[in-house]
Chains A and B, each alone.
Chain A
Amino acid sequence: MTLLLLIEQCLNGLQMGVALFLMAAGLTLIFGVMGVINLAHGSLFMVGAFAAAGVAAATGSYTLALIAALAASAVAGVLMEVLVIRRLYARDHLDQVLATFALILIFSEGTRFLFGSFPLYIDTPALLSGPITLPGGIDYPRYRLFIIAMGLAIAGGLFWFIARTRIGIQIRAGEVDREMIAALGVDISKLYTAVFALGAALAGLAGALIGAIQSVEVGMGEPVLILAFVVIVIGGIGSIKGAFIGALLVGLTDTLGRVLLPQVFGLVMDASSATTVGASLASMAIYILMAGILVFRPSGLFGRAT
């Protein structure tokens, strides 16, 4: 294990982390402001990826594909909120889980109906393909660096948006006391729709970014959704800062666990069983991390105690 390899893996972990953050930020905002647990957030990720793949195939432009992903997932998010989620605010979590589970079925089969079962691919633009040599002599894919930069920029923008703008203040006020900000004359239902659209657009953007390094297919949203759940549970539900730190923790734990654990076990057992044990443990590592954190802090690292 060389230092260069370790740095490369850290970058991979960072890339996974920022992608997860884009998903988790929307989830945690939606839960924090509206108190809704949205299982169909993964479907918005998928909608973004499919919109990007469709537009990229039709126009060949990666920029247009990203814009299409943002627009399509925001529209899907608004439709979802207006038609279904809006009726669930007053319901308990059980109804929300079931209704959004039903939405997953509808979105997945609807997408299968429109695009078929074969995976699609998004080509990265020429400017971003191929490796780049970083200081220290590491060859690293440009596109992954682009994802990291994009994710960090959006994270920064989101922090600014929540902390400094008027809507951001209203969102934070909504997390603290929903009835009060309605009483102060903020149109709460428009705010809810806006937050949902924002969360959906972030998920769709994540879908489009990740869609270019893996295949775009039905069901691609759910694994990411579950990881995003782990992220916001670790970070504390409702906290953007928690989502960011949680996302990086999960990204790094998963990536480094897969590389390091088999090597660590290799010190005490023979190579083939070390690979087996290490790989099995690595696939569970983030869940073990989550369980461990929840044992000590039941409402996450940055969550308000309930």
Chain B
Amino acid sequence: MRRETLLNAAILAGFLALPLWAWMADEPFIITLTTRAAILALAGVGLNLALGLGGLVSLGHAAFFGIGGYAMGVLAFHAQTYTPLTEAPFLIEGTKSMPVIWLVALITSALAALVIGALSLRTSGVYFIMITLAFGQMFYFFMISWPAYGGEDGMSIYLRNGFPGLNTLDPIQFYALCFVLLAGALWLVSRIQHSAFGLALAAARQSPMRVTSVGIRPRSLHLLAFTLSGAITGLAGALFADLNRFVSPTMFSWQTSGEIMVFVILGGVGRLLGPVLGAAIFIAMEHWLDGVSDYWHIYLGAILLGMVLFARGGLIGLIAGREVAHD
């Protein structure tokens, strides 16, 4: 356990030190790259709650990532064109304020996760994987064929949304916001892990029958975990859209779901900082391998394959040992 704690501290220290160095060395690109890693890590932290703690293999988390992204996109689009979202039954205006956008992203993606979860959790195993995948595709094709918000082309938001008291266009200040949210999500997940709910959830993953026999319904635990998980990934989607100042149906694509899952597994399923390390390594590989070869996905695929076949427990498992994994 101590080795994992040390490793966790080192990962977080890296996430603080690298952008600080880049800021002082005037390397805004490095800051943007780290911001990307932090946001994708946040999406992974969301998925890890369902996947690692709950054992729910969701291949449709792009749906929540995309919903978060479009929550930002739609609100900011209406704010920048000065058109209201709806006029009847009451007036809803767009907004450029990050806290409001975050709240909307959290609520809409949590609602979507609640509905998708309630339907999908009727199934289990491989059916669950495929039905979540299909729900993700459903949103993907809907956004492509719905012309109101850019359709297949997506839409650009010209100015990054604002946060009271900060200049979000300054890369380091935007990074600070993302890092605080990531740290907050990690704190929340670590609290959940040690709460009665988290323990019951872990127990339901290992033996649903025993959990049922002490009077807890595994499905309610799973649904709550899936909803929270979707909400966190949705928040990451809103930040990701703000980072790029662009949203498109790609956020909903099943490759996005696959990549979020890759972060989690690369780092270590069920480990608190697994997705954070996974996202950091993924972004680093994407950046460096892309410079080495145009066909860098081959190397990425080979590394992933090697990880699955020979290094179970992910990078954190590799470094900190397997004994802390509880299954």
Instruction: For the complex formed, measure the closest distance between the CB of B82 and the CB atoms of chain A, giving whole angstroms.
Output: 23
Q: Chain A residues near B123: list those with CB within 8 A.
A: 294, 298-299
Cα–Cα, bound, A66→B249 (Å): 35
Cα–Cα, bound, A182→B297 (Å): 39
B32 contacts A by Cβ under 8 Å: no
A106 touches which of B59, B137, B298 (Cβ 8 Å)? B298
B126 touches which of A93, A102, A113, A288 (Cβ 8 Å)? A93
A280 contacts B by Cβ under 8 Å: yes
Q: Chain A residues near B51: list those with CB within 8 A.
A: 94
Which residues 259-316 of B have a CB within 8 angstroms of A? 261-262, 265, 269, 295-298, 300-302, 304-305, 307-309, 312
B39 contacts A by Cβ under 8 Å: no
A288 touches which of B138, B298, B301, B302 (Cβ 8 Å)? B138
A229 contacts B by Cβ under 8 Å: yes
Cα–Cα, bound, A284→B136 (Å): 11
B134 contacts A by Cβ under 8 Å: yes
Quick check: A105 and B300 within 8 Å, CB to CB?
yes
Apart from A102-B308, A287-B138, what 12 extra A-B contacts exist at CB < 8 Å? A94-B269, A95-B312, A101-B262, A103-B301, A103-B305, A106-B301, A109-B296, A226-B133, A230-B134, A232-B130, A282-B145, A284-B138
Known interface pairs A103-B305, A294-B123; A112-B295 also in contact (CB < 8 Å): yes
A166 contacts B by Cβ under 8 Å: no
Binding site for A on B (CB under 8 A): 51, 57, 59, 119, 122-127, 129-131, 133-135, 137-138, 141-142, 144-147, 254, 258, 261-262, 265, 269, 295-298, 300-302, 304-305, 307-309, 312
Q: Chain A residues near B134: list those with CB within 8 A.
A: 226, 229-230, 233, 287, 290-291
Nearest CB to that of B269 among chain A residues? A94
A162 contacts B by Cβ under 8 Å: no
Quick check: B305 and A99 within 8 Å, CB to CB?
yes
Quick check: A294 and B297 within 8 Å, CB to CB?
no
Quick check: A98 and B298 within 8 Å, CB to CB?
no
Quick check: B130 and A233 within 8 Å, CB to CB?
yes
Quick check: A283 and B135 within 8 Å, CB to CB?
no
A104 contacts B by Cβ under 8 Å: yes
A93 touches which of B125, B137, B305 (Cβ 8 Å)? B125
Quick check: A104 and B301 within 8 Å, CB to CB?
yes
Cα–Cα, bound, A291→B60 (Å): 14
Which residues 256-306 of A have a CB within 8 angstroms of B? 276, 279-280, 282-284, 287-288, 290-291, 294-295, 298-300, 306
Q: Chain B residues near A195: list those with CB within 8 A.
A: none
Cα–Cα, bound, A284→B142 (Å): 6
Cα–Cα, bound, A20→B119 (Å): 25
Q: Chain B residues near A300: list those with CB within 8 A.
A: 127
Q: For chain A, which range describes its interface: under 10, 10 to 19, 20 to 34, or 35 or more residues?
A: 35 or more
| Total contacts A-B at CB 8 Å | 123
B119 touches which of A87, A226, A282, A295 (Cβ 8 Å)? A295
A68 contacts B by Cβ under 8 Å: no
Quick check: B309 and A233 within 8 Å, CB to CB?
no
Cα–Cα, bound, A101→B125 (Å): 17
A108 contacts B by Cβ under 8 Å: yes
Quick check: B145 and A280 within 8 Å, CB to CB?
yes
Binding site for B on A (CB under 8 A): 31, 37, 84, 87, 93-95, 97-99, 101-106, 108-110, 112-113, 222, 226, 229-230, 232-233, 237, 276, 279-280, 282-284, 287-288, 290-291, 294-295, 298-300, 306
Which 10 A-B residue pairs are closest in the complex by CB-CB distance?
A: A105-B301, A102-B304, A106-B301, A287-B138, A283-B141, A102-B305, A109-B297, A99-B308, A109-B298, A102-B301
Quick check: A291 and B131 within 8 Å, CB to CB?
yes
B305 touches which of A106, A108, A229, A287 (Cβ 8 Å)? A106
B127, B269, B295 — most chain A CB neighbours (10 Å): B127
Instruction: For the complex formed, measure the closest distance between the CB of A258 and the CB atoms of chain B, giving whole angstroms.
Output: 10
B254 touches which of A222, A279, A282, A287 (Cβ 8 Å)? A222
Nearest CB to that of A229 among chain B residues? B130
Quick check: A97 and B135 within 8 Å, CB to CB?
no
Cα–Cα, bound, A112→B301 (Å): 14
Quick check: A237 and B305 within 8 Å, CB to CB?
no
Instruction: For the complex formed, measure the closest distance between the CB of B47 and the CB atoms of chain A, giving whole angstroms.
Output: 12
Nearest CB to that of A277 among chain B residues? B146
Quick check: A306 and B125 within 8 Å, CB to CB?
yes
Nearest CB to that of B137 among chain A residues? A226
A101 touches which of B130, B145, B295, B304 (Cβ 8 Å)? B304
Q: Chain A residues near B135: list those with CB within 8 A.
A: 287, 291
Q: Chain A residues near B119: list those with CB within 8 A.
A: 291, 294-295
Q: Chain B residues near A99: list those with CB within 8 A.
A: 304-305, 308-309
Quick check: B262 and A280 within 8 Å, CB to CB?
no
Cα–Cα, bound, A229→B134 (Å): 8
